[in-house]
Amino acid sequence: MIRYAALAVVSLGLLGGAATAGTLAPDAVKIEDGKIAASLTGKPGDPVEGRKWFADRKLGNCLACHQNADLSEQQFHGEVGPTLDGVADRWTPEELRAIVVNSKAALYEGTIMPAFYRTSGLNRVADNFAGKTILSAQQVEDVVAYLMTLKEE
């Protein structure tokens, strides 16, 4: 696992999975009461970037499962999860960070939603993804910042 993560940094600097200075490694992240108190990177997220990661099929691909009126220019929105319209009215940033990092710990064990910043406790991960997270720590922060813009009230 660690070996893979190291390789990832060298060859694909963008992909997550490895801790850089000031960034929490996936296994070091603690979810308490459904929350992660502080930024994984110590830096704030960028909502404009987050909107991109959210829609990108190779990254968040959140639209695979969620509808989101803010991205109406994208053609297909999935119906597997709840709509994310107004999600910022329902959750705090600390809660949203926990849901994106590991919904199984933040929401409930049986949820279908993948954990986007987790490398352990998985089964038969393809070699090219082993030891890597779906989103990097900064991408998680960006997505959370973007989710905070989805207000209805």
Partner 1 sequence: MKKWIALGVMASIGMAASVGLADESATLTVEGQTIKTKHEAGDENPLGTVYSGWTFRSTETQVLQMDDFENPGFVMVEYGQELWETAEGSSGKSCASCHGDASESMKGLRAVMPKWHEEKDTLMTLEDHINWSRQEHQGAEPWKWESQEMLAMTAFIGLQSRGMPMNVSIDGKNAEWFEKGKDLYYTRVGQLDLACANCHEDNYGNMIRADHLSQGMINGFPVYRLKWSGMGSIHRRFSGCMKQVRGTPYKRGSDEFTALELYLAWRGNGLGVETPSVRN
Q: Are 45 and 142 in contact (CB under 8 A)?
A: yes
Residue 113 touches ligand HEC, criterion: CB under 6 A: yes
- Among partner 1, ligand HEC, none, what does residue 75 contact (CB within 5–8 Å per kind)? partner 1
Q: Which of 9, 114, 129, 130 binds ligand HEC (CB under 6 A)?
A: 114
The dihedral sign for the CA sequence 64, 151, 96, 82? negative
Cα–Cα distance measured from residue 138 to residue 113, given in angstroms and rounded to the nearest whole number: 20
Selection from ligand HEC, partner 1, none that 11 binds (CB < 5 to 8 A by kind) is none
Q: Restricting to residues 73-92, which ones interact with ligand HEC according to CB under 6 A?
A: 80-82, 84, 87, 90
Supply the Cα-derived Rg of the chain in whole angstroms: 15
Candidates 5-13, 39-47, 90-98, 110-118; binding stretch for partner 1 (CB under 8 A): 110-118
Residue among 99, 94, 91 nearest 115 (CA):
99
Pick what 45 binds: partner 1, ligand HEC, none; C-beta below 5 to 8 Å, kind-dependent.
none
Select the residue interacting with ligand HEC from 96, 98, 115, 145 (CB under 6 A): 96
Footprint on residues 22-61 left by partner 1 (CB under 8 A): 57, 61
Q: Is 81 exposed, middle or buried (0-12, 13-18, 19+ CB in 10 A)?
A: middle
Residue 75 has a CB neighbour count (10 Å cut-off) of 7
